[in-house]
Amino acid sequence: MPKNKKPKLINGTKYNRLTILSYSHSDKRWRKFYEVRCECGNKKVILGSALVSGNTKSCGCLSLEVKKNKRLSENHTEITAIILGYKRHAKDRGLKWNLPREFIENIIKKECYYCGTLPNNRKITKNSLNTGLLYSGIDRLNSVKDYTKENVVPCCKICNNAKSNMDIKSFKNWVIKIGKKAMAQQWSEYLERQNKLKEIEN
């Protein structure tokens, strides 16, 4: 290439993630190469025509990100939406959020801590596949304390609403009270049926 021939690409021009720093050299086929800086900070020498055509969009970091995203779980968007919802809830109430994503991904798959109900809340986002994600909610054992691993359990919507702001001891006592009343009522109905059968037999 003649020495007085100027590079066609201008310094400072940005192509995708790459910004041209300077003209580097030309090969035997007169193809122009440029030193570029990627958004991630890496510097490389790239063929100019590859920049213009878009065949090369980054230093290589973009392809790594794409591969990483393909390895995301099937319900990545739903789990993200669930976490953001709880974080907003915590912020609105002045509570700290100290639950890592991996912990959330695990706990929402579990049955309700109080009644054993399998995950039955459904989360659907615009990027959901199929019918979204069935999950258990998250309840704080002590409603005045922050979201920490020691203070949260998986919980169905019914138990969550029933427990409300009760502490765990009060909630258990309330459940026992309901259970005793239900058993007493069932026993009363059973005795009533037995008495009617006896009357019929007599």
Q: What digits encode the pLDDT tens for the residues 160-178?
A: 999 988 888 888 898 888 8
CB 135 within 8 A of CB 81: no
Say if 199 falls within a structural domain.
no
Q: In sequence order, what are the residues at sequence separation of 6 or more whose Cβ sits closer than 8 angstroms to the Cβ of residue 13? A: 19, 20
Residues 89 and 55 occupy one common structural domain: no
Nearest to 80 by CA among 127, 35, 45, 40: 127
Whole-number pLDDT of residue 6: 54
Say if 107 falls within a structural domain.
yes
The helix or strand, by DSSP H or E, that contains position 114, with its residue range, turns out to be: none
Residues 84 and 65 occupy one common structural domain: no
Say if 134 falls within a structural domain.
yes
Residues 45 and 89 occupy one common structural domain: no
d(CA 26, CA 29): 8
**Residue range(s) defining the domain that contains residue 159:** 76-171
Tokens of 150: 């020691």
Say if 37 falls within a structural domain.
yes
Residues 97 and 160 occupy one common structural domain: yes
Residues 164 and 80 occupy one common structural domain: yes
Say if 183 falls within a structural domain.
no
Nearest to 93 by CA among 170, 147, 141, 150: 147
Write the CATH number for 92. Answer: 3.30.40.220
Whole-number pLDDT of residue 45: 96
Whole-number pLDDT of residue 148: 97
Residues 63 and 92 occupy one common structural domain: no
- Any idea what the Cα angle at residue 21 is, between residues 24 and 16, rounded to 5°? 110
| Residue 137 identity (one-letter amino acid) | G
Q: What pTM does this model have? A: 0.55
Whole-number pLDDT of residue 38: 96
Residues 30 and 115 occupy one common structural domain: no
The total number of structural domains in the chain stands at 2
Average pLDDT, the chain: 88
Residues 120 and 140 occupy one common structural domain: yes
Residues 152 and 92 occupy one common structural domain: yes
Say if 28 falls within a structural domain.
yes
Residues 29 and 112 occupy one common structural domain: no
19-36 pLDDT tens trace: 999 999 999 999 999 999
Residues 133 and 99 occupy one common structural domain: yes
Residues 95 and 166 occupy one common structural domain: yes
Say if 178 falls within a structural domain.
no
Token match 């069932």: residue? Answer: 186
